[in-house]
C-alpha cells in the first residue's frame, strides 16, 4: 500500500528516537521528533516535494532523552506548547527533567525553567503524555504515564505556574504506564484509556473534570497483558469509538463497542503476538474507510483494513520494514496535497534513519480543522462528515496511544478512484464542552476551519 518517500527528508543520518508529534507553524504543520541522547528535530515542508530542518536551537536539547511528545494550548493563548517527557531511567526517578516549550515573540522558552516553577519539574520516569481538556474550556492539561511512579496531571496558571493536579482529579495511580489515548470513550466528555505494563489497564471516565477508573466494568483492564500502542477508531460512523490495543509480545485486541460493553473482534492477522509499538488509525488511501497501522521493534510492521464489516490484514508495502527498530510513529499531510504522510521513528537497540511513507491515490478528500474558543487546534474534538454514502467520524488527536501524537485535523477520504465517490453534505463538530456546530458543505479537495461556537467566525 505505502511507497517510500524517505528521500524527501532533509537528513537520513541514523539516530535514536522515540516520540513524535505534529503541531502547527506559520506556514503549515511542524513534525517534532524527540531525540534520545541527541538533538530533537523539527521538520517542515519545503516546496511541494521536500522537507526541511526547521529546528530552532532552543528546542534541540541535545542531552535530553525524549520519550513522549505532545502539543496543545496549555495556557489558552491560541498557540500550542510542546511537552517533551524526558527519561534517562527505565522506571522510578530519572536524573533529568521534562520540558514544556512555550512559543513567545522572542522564541521558545522552557516553562519549567521559570523561577515560579522551581521544584515543580517532573523527574519521574515514564513513556507517554497526552493533552486532555477535562473541563471543556480549551485550556489543556497534560497527563503523564509514569513508570514505577505515580502519574502526573499538569495544568498551567496565568503566571506560568505549573501545578500537578493528579491527586485532586483522581489520576495519581502508581503504574507501569505505557500509553494514553483521550477521547469520548464511555462518556460525552474526554475520557482516557491508560495502557499499562505489569498491571491492569485503566479506563478513566470523565465525571465533570474528575476521573474514575471503570476499566473492570467494561472488561478492559487486561491484568496479564503488556499494553503499548492504542488507537480510537469509529469504523461504522456511529459516533462510538472502538479501541485498538497493541500488546508487547502478547495477543493484540480490537475492542468493538457494542451497547454498554466491548467485544474483542481482532482477526488472526492482528491478534498474533509481536513486538508492537505505536498504533495509528487513519484513512491513508482516501477511500472513506480507516486503516490501522502499527510499527514494531525488530519485526514487520502491520496494516489492517476493514471490509464488509470485518477487519483483515493487508500488505503495508514499503512500510513493512521487516528489520525496522520501530519506536514511534505519527501522521500529517505535510505538503498539503490531501495525502497523509506516515513518519516512522526508530531506535532503542540501535540507530536507524527516520522514514516517511505515503499511499498515493487519486481519491478525493476533505479535511476539517476545528479550533478552540482561543483559536488553537481543538484537540479531543469529534468531527463527523455525512455524505450521500453515510457518516464518517474522526477524533482530533490529543495523544495517539504510545509516545506520539498526530496532526490536529480530521482527515476524510471521499473515494472516487479506487472506491465510489462520496458527496459531502454536512460537517458536525462536537467540542469537549459538549457544544456542537453544524456546517453544510459540498466542498472537496480542501481544508475547512471551524471555529468554536463561543466565537463569531466559522
Q: Is residue 40 included in any domain, yes or no?
A: yes
Closest CA to 204 of 239, 236, 230: 230
**Number of residues that make up the chain:** 458
Q: Which three cell numbers stand for residue 119?
A: 521544584
Contact 190, 432 (CB under 8 A): yes
- Which DSSP state fits 265? -
At residue 240, the 3 state secondary structure works out as coil
**Long-range CB contacts (within 8 A, 24+) of 297-304:** 297/325, 297/326, 297/327, 297/348, 297/349, 298/323, 298/324, 298/325, 298/349, 299/274, 299/275, 300/274, 301/326, 301/344, 302/269, 302/270, 302/274, 303/1, 303/2, 304/267, 304/269, 304/270
- Which DSSP state fits 377? B
Return the bridge partners of 275, or none: 248
Give the integer Cα–Cα distance in Å for 39 and 259: 47
Closest CA to 31 of 283, 354, 291: 354
Residue 304 has, within 13 A of its CA and on its CB side, a CA count of: 30
Q: Which residue has the cell 474483542?
A: 264
At residue 167, the 3 state secondary structure works out as helix
Instruction: Count other Cβ atoms within 10 Å, centred on residue 420.
Output: 12
Q: Is residue 300 included in any domain, yes or no?
A: yes
**Measured torsion, CA atoms of residues 90, 330, 80, 235, in degrees rounded to the nearest 10:** -110
Q: What angle do CA 450, 279, 214 make, to 5 degrees?
A: 80
Q: Is residue 145 included in any domain, yes or no?
A: yes
Q: Is residue 458 included in any domain, yes or no?
A: no
Give the integer Cα–Cα distance in Å for 439 and 453: 12
Q: Which residue has the cell 495556557?
A: 75
- Residue-level pLDDT at 458: 42
- Please write the tens of the pLDDT for every residue from 347-393: 999 999 999 999 999 999 999 999 999 999 999 999 999 999 999 99
Give the integer Cα–Cα distance in Å for 452 and 234: 23
Q: Which three cell numbers stand for residue 265?
A: 473482534
Q: Quickly count helices (H) and strands (E) in the chain.
A: 3, 35
Burial 304-338 (b: 16+ CB within 10 A, else e): bbbeeeebeeeebebbbbeebbbbbbbbbbbbeeb
- Residue-level pLDDT at 437: 97
In 192-267, where does DSSP find H-type helix? Answer: 215-218
Closest CA to 142 of 158, 113, 164, 110: 164
Q: Is residue 64 included in any domain, yes or no?
A: yes
Give kind and range of the element (H or E) at residue 268. Answer: helix 268-271
**Rounded CA Rg of the chain:** 20
Give the integer Cα–Cα distance in Å for 328 and 22: 13
Q: Domain with 347 in it: what CATH number?
A: 2.130.10.10
Q: Is residue 74 included in any domain, yes or no?
A: yes
DSSP state string for 173-230? -EEEEEEEEEE-SSSSS-EEEEEESSS--EEEEEETTEEEE-HHHHT---TT--EEEE
Q: Which three cell numbers stand for residue 142?
A: 497534560
Q: How far does the chain reach from its first CA to its final CA, in angstroms?
A: 36
Instruction: Count other Cβ atoms within 10 Å, centred on residue 263.
Output: 12
Strands 390-395 and 174-183: unpaired
345 backbone dihedrals φ, ψ, rounded to 5°: -100, 145
Question: 356 exposed, middle or buried (CB, 10 Å; 0-12, 13-18, 19+)?
Answer: buried
Q: Is residue 383 included in any domain, yes or no?
A: no
Give the integer Cα–Cα distance in Å for 291 and 274: 19
Give the integer Cα–Cα distance in Å for 386 and 158: 39
Q: Is residue 86 included in any domain, yes or no?
A: yes
Return the bridge partners of 147, or none: 176
Q: How many domains does one find in the chain? A: 1
Closest CA to 391 of 290, 257, 303: 290
The ranges of the chain with pLDDT < 50 are: 458
User: Containing domain of residue 243, as a range?
Assistant: 3-370
Amino acid at each position: 500500500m505505502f511507497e517510500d518517500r524517505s528521500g524527501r527528508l532533509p537528513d537520513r543520518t541514523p539516530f535514536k528516537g522515540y516520540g513524535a508529534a505534529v503541531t502547527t507553524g506559520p506556514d503549515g504543520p511542524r513534525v517534532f521528533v524527540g531525540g534520545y541522547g541527541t538533538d530533537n528535530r523539527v521538520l517542515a515542508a519545503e516546496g511541494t516535494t521536500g522537507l526541511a530542518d526547521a529546528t530552532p536551537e532552543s528546542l534541540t536539547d541535545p542531552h535530553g532523552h525524549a520519550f513522549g511528545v505532545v502539543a496543545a494550548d496549555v495556557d489558552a493563548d491560541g498557540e500550542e506548547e510542546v511537552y517533551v517527557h524526558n527519561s534517562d531511567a527505565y522506571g522510578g526517578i530519572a536524573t533529568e527533567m521534562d520540558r514544556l516549550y512555550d512559543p513567545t515573540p522572542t522564541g521558545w522558552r522552557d516553562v519549567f525553567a521559570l523561577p515560579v516553577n522551581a521544584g515543580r519539574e517532573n523527574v519521574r520516569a515514564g513513556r507517554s503524555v497526552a493533552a486532555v481538556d477535562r473541563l471543556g474550556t480549551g485550556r489543556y492539561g497534560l497527563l503523564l504515564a509514569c513508570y514505577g511512579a505515580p502519574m502526573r496531571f499538569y495544568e498551567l496558571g496565568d503566571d506560568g505556574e505549573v501545578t500537578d493536579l493528579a491527586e485532586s482529579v483522581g489520576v495519581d495511580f502508581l503504574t507501569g504506564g505505557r500509553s494514553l489515548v483521550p477521547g469520548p470513550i464511555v462518556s460525552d466528555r474526554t475520557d482516557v484509556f491508560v495502557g499499562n505494563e505489569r498491571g491492569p489497564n485503566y479506563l478513566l471516565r470523565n465525571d465533570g473534570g474528575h476521573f474514575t477508573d471503570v476499566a473492570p466494568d467494561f472488561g478492559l483492564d487486561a491484568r496479564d497483558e503488556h499494553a503499548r500502542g492504542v488507537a480510537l477508531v469509529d469504523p461504522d460512523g456511529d459516533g462510538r469509538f472502538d479501541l485498538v490495543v497493541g500488546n508487547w509480545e502478547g495477543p493484540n485486541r480490537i475492542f468493538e463497542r457494542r451497547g454498554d460493553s466491548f467485544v474483542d473482534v481482532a482477526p488472526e492477522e492482528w491478534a498474533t503476538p509481536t513486538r508492537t509499538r505505536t498504533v495509528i488509525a487513519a484513512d491513508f488511501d482516501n477511500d472513506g474507510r480507516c486503516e490501522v497501522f502499527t510499527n514494531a521493534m525488530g519485526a514487520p510492521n502491520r496494516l489492517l483494513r476493514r471490509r464488509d464489516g470485518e477487519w483483515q490484514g493487508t500488505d503495508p508495502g514499503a512500510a513493512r520494514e521487516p528489520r525496522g527498530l520501530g519506536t514511534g510513529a505519527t501522521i500529517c499531510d505535510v505538503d498539503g496535497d490531501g495525502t497523509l504522510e506516515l513518519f516512522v521513528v526508530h531506535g532503542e537497540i540501535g540507530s536507524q534513519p527516520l522514514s516517511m511513507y505515503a499511499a498515493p491515490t487519486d481519491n478525493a478528500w476533505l479535511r476539517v480543522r476545528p479550533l478552540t474558543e482561543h483559536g488553537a487546534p481543538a484537540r479531543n474534538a469529534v468531527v463527523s462528515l455525512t455524505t450521500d454514502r453515510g457518516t464518517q467520524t474522526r477524533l482530533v488527536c490529543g495523544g495517539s496511544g504510545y509516545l506520539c501524537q498526530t496532526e490536529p485535523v480530521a482527515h476524510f477520504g471521499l473515494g472516487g478512484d479506487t472506491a465510489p465517490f462520496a458527496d459531502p453534505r454536512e460537517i458536525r463538530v462536537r467540542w469537549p464542552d459538549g457544544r456542537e456546530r453544524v456546517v453544510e458543505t459540498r466542498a472537496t479537495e480542501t481544508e475547512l476551519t471551524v471555529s468554536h461556537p463561543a466565537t463569531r467566525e466559522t
